[in-house]
Amino acid sequence: MGVPLLDLKAHHEPLHKEIMAALEHTFQSNAFILGPAVEKLEERIATYCQAKYGIGVTSGTDALLLALMALGVGAGDEVMTSPYSFFATAGVVARLGAKPVLVDIDATTFNIDPSRIEHAITSKTKAIIPVHLYGQCADMAPIMELARRHNLSVIEDAAQAIGAEYRDGRRACSMGTVGCLSFFPSKNLGCLGDGGMAVTNDPGLAERMKILRVHGSQPKYYHKLIGGNFRLDTIQAAVLNVKLNYLDGWTKRRQENANRYQSLFQQSGLLQKGRVRLPEEIYRGSGVKHYHIYNQFVLRVDNRNDLIAHLKSKGIGSEIYYPVPFHLQECFRYLGYKEGDFPESERAANETIAIPIYPELTAAQQAEVVEAIASFYS
């Protein structure tokens, strides 16, 4: 029958009327730039993330860019992150003329390995961007400790991790200097296009980001700073104000689906044979509810590329997040890295595959996915 990687039709169908009403309301208002819907969303998302301020922006990428701009990162500065993430994480650093400095990931979580950070800090280091990849927080305690000691800013790339909790119950975006969210449709809270938000507890930084979001103008047409147009569309905020009411329910279903995969893969014998390794939930059992919010459910597998072809022939959606680590990207050749520099990232890029985990996925569909994988290895 086939199973898609993501089913936005099934996701939005129950909300059809509510979303249409929000769109209609915005259309009738003829107020399309910022305004009450954006402000309401900013307050709600900040609260959801256990932080004080939210600044609605055009995309997750622009949230990262805006955060770096507000922190004054530019030419000559170094910003540290891991090589294994979506391109935007390092792209924004380079676009500002700063240098992305890469640090390998932890093999279990796929997140930046804190034990490798200090070694890479120089007098030029300005910030660290830990990515909470797939929906599980990076190990923030040692990262924040290093940042304090070396006077660095920390920008959480929480594009895949809205609401994810660290072992102490603190949520993504509340721990670093700034947290960045994406509302791209495939994220856990997605809008009907592009959108994002920068979240912070620092009032001065929040103010700076708000000004930079409108070309650095304050008051209107007087520019102390050079910013850009980074505004979140009012119509997207209106949709997100509806969808946010359902986010906890969706997260719960993603976690239930992850649990069901655990038992299905156990029963399949694939784990015992070492063909497949499941994601590990390292904060589970520490008393937090959102120990992993499963934006993606990512396996390590044997013979990955042939498995993908097999799944495709059975109509089962999968994806590689991400096939090429930053240090091997053509555009970053000038950074001088080479193959072998970040072995864990390279191994992850070669071994991993994301399978369907979306909230509307049924038990029967999950059984079909696991059977298809089992049939490949039998």
Which residues here bind ligand PLP, judged by CB under 6 A?
59-61, 85-86, 88-89, 131, 157, 159-160, 182, 184, 194, 196
Q: Which is nearer to ligand PLP, 42 or 368 (CB)?
A: 42
Q: Which is nearer to ligand PLP, 179 or 368 (CB)?
A: 179
Q: What is the rounded distance in angstroms from the CA atom of residue 321 to the CA atom of residue 136?
A: 15
Please identify the residue of the shown chain whose CB is closest to the bound ligand PLP: 60
Q: Which is nearer to ligand PLP, 234 or 236 (CB)?
A: 236
Q: Which is nearer to ligand PLP, 160 or 255 (CB)?
A: 160
CA 309 to the chain's CA centroid: 27
* Residue 11, token pair as written in the block: 């996701």
Q: How far is the CB of 21 from ligand PLP (least distance, A)?
A: 25
Q: Which is nearer to ligand PLP, 251 or 268 (CB)?
A: 251
Q: How far is the CB of 146 from ligand PLP (least distance, A)?
A: 21
Q: Which is nearer to ligand PLP, 26 or 85 (CB)?
A: 85
Q: Which is nearer to ligand PLP, 160 or 268 (CB)?
A: 160
Q: How far is the CB of 334 from ligand PLP (least distance, A)?
A: 22
Q: What is the rounded distance in angstroms from the CA atom of residue 296 to the CA atom of residue 289?
A: 17
Q: How far is the CB of 110 from ligand PLP (least distance, A)?
A: 11
Alpha-carbon dihedral angle through residues 326, 327, 328, 330, given to the nearest 10 degrees: 80
Q: Which is nearer to ligand PLP, 153 or 296 (CB)?
A: 296
Q: How far is the CB of 19 from ligand PLP (least distance, A)?
A: 19
Q: Are 80 and 125 in contact (CB under 8 A)?
A: yes
Ordered alpha helix ranges (H), the chain? 8-12, 16-29, 36-48, 60-70, 88-95, 117-120, 140-150, 203-213, 234-243, 247-268, 304-313, 343-351, 363-377
Neighbours of 273 (CB within 10 A): 10
Neighbours of 34 (CB within 10 A): 18
DSSP string of 160-172, one letter each residue: T-TT-B-TTSPBT
What separation, in Å, do the N-terminal and C-terminal C-alpha atoms of the chain show?
A: 20
Q: What is the rounded distance in angstroms from the CA atom of residue 349 to the CA atom of residue 245?
A: 35
Q: Residue 137: left if φ>0, alpha if ψ -120 to 50, beta else—which one?
A: beta
Q: Which is nearer to ligand PLP, 132 or 290 (CB)?
A: 132
Q: Are 156 and 177 in contact (CB under 8 A)?
A: no
Q: How far is the CB of 193 from ligand PLP (least distance, A)?
A: 10
Overall residue count recorded for the chain in this entry:
378
For 266, phi and psi rounded to 5 degrees?
Answer: -55, -50
Q: How far is the CB of 138 from ligand PLP (least distance, A)?
A: 11
Q: How far is the CB of 60 from ligand PLP (least distance, A)?
A: 2
* Residue 70, token pair as written in the block: 């507000």
Q: How far is the CB of 217 from ligand PLP (least distance, A)?
A: 23
